Amino acid sequence: MPPPPPTGEPKRRRLLSLMAVYPCESIAPAPLFSSLLTLAADLASQGRLSPDAGDFPVLRRGLRQAVRIAGLLLAFLEEIQDVTVTKTAALPSSAVLGLMELHVAMQKLRFLLSDCARRGARLWVLVNAGLAASELRVILGSVAAAVDALPKDVVDASVDAGELARLMSEHAWRAAVRPDAGDERAARSVRSILEQFKSGVSPDAEDARRVLEHIGVRSWSDCSEEIAFLEDELRTRLDGGAGGDSSSSSDAVLINSLMAFMVYCRVVLFDQIDANPKADAASRPPARCPDWLRPETLQCPITLDLMKDPVTVSTGQTYDRESITRWIKAGCRTCPVTGGRLRTADVVPNAALRGIIERMLLSNGVSLPDRSSSGHRHGALGDTAVAFGPAAAGAARLAVAYIVAQISTGSTAERRKATCEARKLCKHSVFYRACLVEANAVPWLLCLLSSTDASVQDNAVACLLNLSKNPRGRAALFEAGGVGLVVDVINVGARAEARQNAAAVLFYLSSNAEHAEEIGRIPEAIPTLVQLIRDGAHRGRKNAMVSLYGLLQCASNHCRAVAAGAVAALAGLLLPVSVVDRDDDLASDAVTLLARLAEQPAGAQAVLARPGLVARVVEALATSSASRSGKDHCVALLVSLCRHGGDKVVALLGRMPGLMSSLYTLVADGSPQTCKRARALLNLIHRHYEMDGQPASAAASEAGERVVRVL
């Protein structure tokens, strides 16, 4: 039985892994010669565009020789072109074989030149200069051997052709390909600095600066490019080294160390963040969509943003992976565009569309974020399976110590830059979060919440949000008395982003029941969240709702939330289905929070006292677009209202049109938990009306009979 076709995204080529496609044996000489001519012209043009090979951080002499040899090959091919084209049918097999070998060598040389000139990969190429030199030596040897194997009548097609072939062979055989002396000095400096990191010693800044100068890293954004590339390279090795390959593991440790080295350099050596990371971006033409493709096809139909990781669902529609995954996890089993039922939750990467998007962005100097074929994205260093080695750990601690010193005693500009660095480092990396907490960064960040500089305040709040994901970070924030300061930012933060992030901080702090109770005792805490739910932007409302949900794990906070007007604020989000501006995402969250509030008598009474709110919940339950989790919370809310409201509420629900039909549908098609709750609610309603000797509703028995027939 043949193996199933692969469903994941093809693995990307590793840097300095020079793969080539060998032409098929039956290829006609004419297309082979034409393709080889194009390859040689492409390689030779690199020498004309960069005569000093300034784009190559290492192996400058060897790569210049390779470009010159490609130029000689181009001239040779142009010289013999007329003779070869007229004799294509009569070319001997040895000539075709020689051209094929040249074609393979030129493919590999193109990959090597591209890798060595790649922005962001300069440090990695430096530490692998020996491997690059070895690959170049093999390529040039293959070129010389292929030229020597060409038949004499082809080589001697003209006097110039013979001279060019001789020069090319001589240059290729005699090329002294080895790392330059400057490359070796820079590589030794990198190794020495890593050894100092292992000992916890800060290296001489000039030594690090000389390394960066040698490879052409001259700005903060250049450092960021190097870090981003190393992250991608690490991810590639982790995705491909699941079998525990020792070489991949050692490479991963080295990449971790180099990333930490570049982070240290970015933090310590550069005083300011580039205003324009791509200095030449303005001179580039804007990225254009191909003429045969409509621009809107590159947007995710859910978010209307450019797709970063396009995937196709069973209906044939393409979405961004993150958006459609969120849609499916919410319990929706229909295609958002067509409305058709999804036969499976599996998605298939749309490699063709991703390639188009990637080429568009690369033409404008922007790289598309990499995604692993499993759909899981590794974070930065601390979130990977590879632990920090001694060098990486030492560099991280030294960088964090420098950042904390700048935050505590620096000027406003220094604090702005330091908080930005801290924000970037702790966003994904568990290790950097732990280092910042260990370095006592939390109290200093709390001091900056009252900064008059909006950027400093934004960065400080974002840092605290990430540090609050760390248990010790949460403890440090409470010990420093920072909850009140966070609440103040929700109230009077300079920017909406700061207010939204401050609300999210309370969510992580409320993960502990004791902390939730302590937060609730702060007079402004819950009213501030309710105000943000009422007046905030989309993200601010969501953050406020999840934070309030966490605080409601403490029973005493229910009364405080009701007193603060939480039910009225949530009812304002649960608009009728017919309203055009209704936000289904916020409405679903509002029902979830109302269900949590209704678990206590005070919350249930407040919901019942709100005019029209119960009817809107029933309407939301009957909506076909509602997610499974949303319907589950609707039923849970109604059950809680019946439990606390008694027979009056049961009677009210029994008279509501459409409710019984919706409940029977959930009994048949809902999740186990929803089915159980719907059945309990049906039993309550039927029992109430059986005691009164009346039917629940005209449609109830009919709906019940339909479900029985289906089951």
> In what helix (H) or strand (E) does residue 407 lie, and over which residues does it extend?
helix 390-409
Alpha-helix runs per DSSP H in 552-658: 556-563, 566-571, 584-597, 601-609, 613-622, 628-645, 647-654
Distance CA 149, CA 96 (A): 10
For 111, other C-beta atoms within 10 Å of its C-beta total 19
Q: What is the DSSP letter of 502?
A: H
Report residue 320 as tokens.
């961004």
Query: Which residues, in sequence order, are bridge partners of residue 349?
Result: 311
Distance CA 278, CA 301 (A): 30
Question: Is the four-CA dihedral 568, 573, 577, 582 of positive or negative sign?
Answer: positive
What is the predicted pLDDT for the residue at 381?
42
Distance CA 117, CA 16 (A): 11
Contact indicator for 629, 588 with CB cutoff of 8 Å: yes
> Under the phi-then-psi rule, with left for phi > 0, alpha for psi from -120 to 50, and beta for the rest, what region is 274?
beta
What is the predicted pLDDT for the residue at 240?
58
Task: Identify the three-state secondary structure at position 306.
Answer: strand
Distance CA 238, CA 218 (A): 30
Report residue 697 as tokens.
């509703």
> At which residue do the structure tokens 């190559």 appear?
56
> In what helix (H) or strand (E) does residue 319 lie, and over which residues does it extend?
strand 318-320
Backbone phi and psi for residue 667, each to the nearest 5 degrees, phi listed first: -60, -35
What is the predicted pLDDT for the residue at 49?
43
Query: Which residues of the chain fall short of a pLDDT of 50?
Result: 1-10, 49-54, 242-244, 276-287, 291-292, 365, 370-386, 697-711
Report residue 2 as tokens.
């043949």
Question: Is the four-CA dihedral 562, 568, 572, 576 of positive or negative sign?
Answer: positive
What is the predicted pLDDT for the residue at 272?
86
C-alpha distances in Å from residue 27, one per residue of 19, 76, 91, 402, 684: 20, 21, 12, 62, 79
What is the predicted pLDDT for the residue at 594?
92
Contact indicator for 93, 187 with CB cutoff of 8 Å: no
| Closest to 638 in 3D by CA, of 649, 629, 628, 627 | 649
Task: Identify the three-state secondary structure at position 375.
Answer: coil
All structural domains of the chain with their residue ranges = 29-179, 184-239+246-272+383-455, 295-364
Query: Which residues, in sequence order, are bridge partners of residue 288?
Result: none
Contact indicator for 634, 666 with CB cutoff of 8 Å: no
Architecture of the domain spanning 295-364: 2-Layer Sandwich (3.30)
Query: CA geometry: angle at 651 spanning 709 and 702, to 5°?
Result: 20
What is the predicted pLDDT for the residue at 579?
60
Q: Which residues contact 57 (CB under 8 A, 6 or more apart)?
A: 116, 122, 125, 126, 214, 215, 216
Return the half-sphere exposure (C-beta side, CA atoms, 13 A cut-off) of residue 19. 6
Distance CA 315, CA 304 (A): 19
What is the predicted pLDDT for the residue at 557?
92
